[in-house]
Amino acid sequence: MSRSESLAAYLRAQARRRLDRVESKDDGRNAKCALALLDTAAYAAGLPEDDPLILMLDQAGCFGPLGCEGFDPGEAGTRLIRHWQGGEPHELLLALPAAITAAT
């Protein structure tokens, strides 16, 4: 599995997690987050392995120390992804390295 595919699979799993959440009076927040994550997953799946966004995520350690493991943004990245409310797909991917660096 390529890094782009691994990233997309992770984002799809997080979107499913949001869709499965049941909260009274969430005003559609979980559904909006899920749609934004699915949009970002579709975007990420189409990125080439040498795309600057993939390389930035690799440098932030999201693909393990050697850059060949499954996507794992760590606790800070996961927190950002789980609370993402939307925006352009590349905005989430650009925000991840900064969130990860700020937490270390």
Q: CB within 8 A of 77, min separation 6: which ones?
A: 60, 62, 96, 99, 100
Q: Is 48 in contact with 26 (CB distance < 8 Å)?
A: no
Across 24-51, average pLDDT? 90
Of 15, 75, 70, 71, whose CA–CA distance to 41 is shortest?
A: 15
pTM: 0.90
Report how far residue 78's alpha carbon sits from residue 52's, in angstroms, rounded to the nearest whole number. Answer: 21
Of 54, 51, 41, 50, whose CA–CA distance to 89 is shortest?
A: 41
pLDDT at 11 over 90: yes
Each residue's pLDDT tens digit, 52-95: 999 999 999 999 877 778 999 999 999 999 888 888 999 999 99
